[in-house]
Structure formats: C-alpha cells, structure tokens
Amino acid sequence: MNEELQKIESIIRDAQSIVIVQADNPDGDSIGSALALEELLHQMGKTPHLYCGVTIPTYLRYLKGWDRVESQLPDKFDASIFVDVSTLTLLEKINTDQRYKKLQKSPCIVIDHHGEVEQEIDFAEVIINDATKSSAGEVIYGIAKALNWKITPDAAEPIMTAILGDTQGLSNELAGPDTYRVMAELIEVGVDRPQLENRRREYSKMPEIIYTYKADLIKRTKFFLENKLAIVVIPQNEIEDYSPLYNPGPLIQADILQVENVAVAIVLKRYDDGKTTAAIRSNAGYKVAGELATYFGGGGHPFAAGFKLQDSIPLDKLLSDIASKTDALLEVIDD
C-alpha cells in the first residue's frame, strides 16, 4: 500500500463525521462520486454529509440521494473529502460558509482526475489527482478496491454514473481499457445499466416552454473559426427564468457539438454584476477544453471544463479572446 492510500485509510479510520464536498458546478461525475463515497462510508459505520454550494441541477436528479446534498457545511465534522475538484477557484460559495475555517483545520482528502490545476487546495493532507483515469468516480473505485472497501450496488451505481458523465457515455477518449473493465465489474456487482439509462432519459425530458427556449438558443448560437467554435450566451434574466426548469448548458451543448465542423461548444452565463461563467465541451479528437479553461483561470479535463470571471469584461472582447485562444489550441492539434 502506498503512502497516499495509508493516509486516506488513517484519516477515515480516525474520523466519525465526514463531509463530502463538490464544486459549485456539480455534474454527473461530482455527484456520482459524492454519493458513492457516502455509501462506502456508511458501510464503514461512518456518518457522511453531502455538501454543494449550489442547488443540484434538475437533469441530475435521477440519481438516488441527490436530495441529501446540503448547501451548508454541517455543524460538526471530523474530516472532509473533496471530490472531482482540486482547485479553490471552483469553490467560491464555500468561502462564505461560517464553518469554512474549521474545514481548513480538519484533515482533508482530495480525489480528482483533472491533473495540474491553479490554486490547489493547500490545506489538504492527501491529494490524489490521477489524470490517467476517466473520472473521479473511477479514481474512487480504484481506491476502494485497493483498501478493500465493500462496494455495494448502492455504491456501484453512482460510480457508473460518474464514469458515464465524464466519458460522455463512454464515447470520448477518456474511456480507456481500464474504464471498460471497471464498468463490467460494476455490472457484476449489480448495476442495471439499461434501467439507469432509462431513469436518466426520463429526468431529461423537458417542459414545452424549455423546448421553445431551446429553439431560441439554437438561433442565437454564434460560430467562429470556420464553425470550429460555437458559443451561446445566457443573460441573467434567462438564468433566473429557465434554470429552475432545465440547466441551459446541458440543454443545448450536446446539440451544438453535433453541428458539422464544431470542435468546441461553449455556454457563457452573463450576470448583471459583471460575473461570467463558462461551460466548455469539446468533441472527440479535440482535447482542448481543459487547457482553454485553465487559460481563463478555470480548470477541467480535455473534453469538459469551465471557468469563472469575477471582473466585468465587454462581451465582444471576451468572445474575441476565447476565439483567439481556441484557434491557437486547435492549430496545435491540426498540425
């Protein structure tokens, strides 16, 4: 057993109440990883708490247990585990929590797969950030196997969800041979893959008003770099009106990536106070999402990433900067 695994085993052994932290941009990997860890810790007799600074998006609510995620840190905890995030830039909300100082002073484990990031969580005692894995969920599965943790069906299903989320249904290059082996083992544990997919599709259904809104987003999508880059901008009033029904990013992004020649699709959310957030997705063969996000102070993996800008910047300049950096990254691939 290596030193990192020994530290993880020691921290969890000595803690009773453990908070599991997701970033402010939850996705299938983060919530799947969190729910898997919750079940694994339950099996050890621990008391896990689930935290995320924002409300879990509607499209992820097909996962059993999503409603146990709280938007505030618990009053009492002995340790923390950060999943699918290893940078403080994606944890803005947690800084305002009155219990954040206690979090900084308690034993902390980070489990991620995004590789190098800016503003690493410097108070973590253990950081496992394995960029060779498809997802944080796959990293957790490897840790569980190495430490002989019991993987029940209730842990296996969210791990599978985590893997499917970041590999875009096993369709991108993040899914390696080990990923498929893990998927097979999860099915052997008892995960009903077709049932899981049917649940996901059921929760992905949209109200008529969202269907109409999607048409508006399609019309407003702007194309750059000979259609290799596509961007759609969501103003704050639309975020407030439509996000409670359906997150605009997942609503439109997969369709944009189906447009001929598109390599990168970006959804920008623009807030009245000048803040901008970006969700970046790239097609197979164009592993640039993570590098593009890092350039703007964010992070992620090669096919899904994001960034957040606190300072106001004119939209035309931001679009120009994004196009310029994307062009430079795609040129390297084309060469």
- What is the pLDDT at residue 334? 67
Domain ranges of the chain: 3-201, 208-334
Residue 270 has which token pair?
């623009």
Sequence-distant (6+) residues with CB within 8 A of 123 are: 103, 104, 105, 108
Give the span between the Cα atoms of 111 and 129, in whole angstroms: 6
Just give the CATH number of 3-201. 3.90.1640.10
Give the span between the Cα atoms of 262 and 109, in whole angstroms: 38
- What is the pLDDT at residue 85? 92
Q: What is the pLDDT along the chain (335 residues), one digit of tens a residue?
A: 699 999 999 999 999 999 999 998 899 999 999 999 999 999 999 999 999 999 898 889 999 999 999 999 999 999 999 999 988 878 888 988 889 999 999 999 999 998 767 678 989 999 999 999 999 999 999 999 999 999 999 999 999 999 999 998 998 889 999 999 999 999 999 999 999 999 999 988 889 999 999 999 999 999 999 999 999 999 999 999 998 888 888 899 999 999 999 999 999 999 999 999 999 999 988 999 989 998 998 888 888 888 889 888 999 999 999 999 999 999 988 66
Q: Which of 90, 69, 93, 87 is nearest to 20 (CA)?
A: 69
Beta strands 299-301 and 126-129: pairing type? unpaired
**CATH 3.10.310.30 for domain 208-334:** yes
- What is the pLDDT at residue 1? 60
H-helix or E-strand containing 320?
Answer: helix 315-334
Cα-based distances in Å from 86 to 101, 131, 134, 159? 18, 12, 16, 19
